[in-house]
Amino acid sequence: MPQAVLLDRDGVINADSPNYILTPEQWQPIPGSLEAIARLHQAGIAIAVVSNQSARGRGMLDAVTFTAIHDKMLRAISSAGGALQHTAYCPHAPAANCDCRKPRPGLVKQALHACCVRAEQAVMIGDSLRDVQAALAAGVRPILVESGYTDATAVAKEARALCPGLEVYPDLAAAVACLLD
């Protein structure tokens, strides 16, 4: 069992959109995701969110609204009995070429440090190829979920080419059930 689970946000915890999550009202948890986070928390596993949020860098989302979305997520997780040890967001646009934007490993390494775990003690659950790439670049075992808005079959095929034994689950609840049961 891992000592830490790192989670992408959009498409893993909440429903994602190709048009971004730009208001608190648009942030809606994926069924079972909050309960899955609570199960991890109750099992004593550190949980961190590592998420690209380029809408900030693109000027589509101001700091106040971003904080309101984040606070809504935290309240929902807490209401379900869960808690996060750490959250790490990349607010940069893709053109910024920063180390924190997945598929680069900056956010993952930051979360590992905050959770006081080594890479081999953690797993990262994401819904995109860049999540798998970031996990691999940081030495963390990736797990893919199919609950994002993209073509899950195509993403899984491409991700398995990078990581042949990659575990793929329908959603966070199924992935956590496998980790804990």
> Over the stretch 18-35, which tens digit does the pLDDT of each residue have?
999 999 999 999 999 999
May I ask the CATH architecture of the domain 4-118+140-163? 3-Layer(aba) Sandwich (3.40)
pLDDT of 150 > 90? The answer is no
Q: What is the mean pLDDT of residues 151-171?
A: 95
Query: What angle do the packed helices 172-180 and 33-42 form, to 10 degrees?
Result: 20
* Catalytic site includes residue 8: yes
Candidates 8, 16, 127, 131; catalytic one:
8
Over the stretch 72-115, which tens digit does the pLDDT of each residue have?
A: 999 999 999 999 999 999 999 999 999 999 999 999 999 999 99
Catalytic one among 10, 16, 127, 131? 10
* 132-149 confidence digits (pLDDT tens): 999 999 999 999 999 998
99 is catalytic: no
Q: Residue ranges per domain, the chain?
A: 4-118+140-163
What pLDDT, on the 0 to 100 scale, is given for residue 35? 98
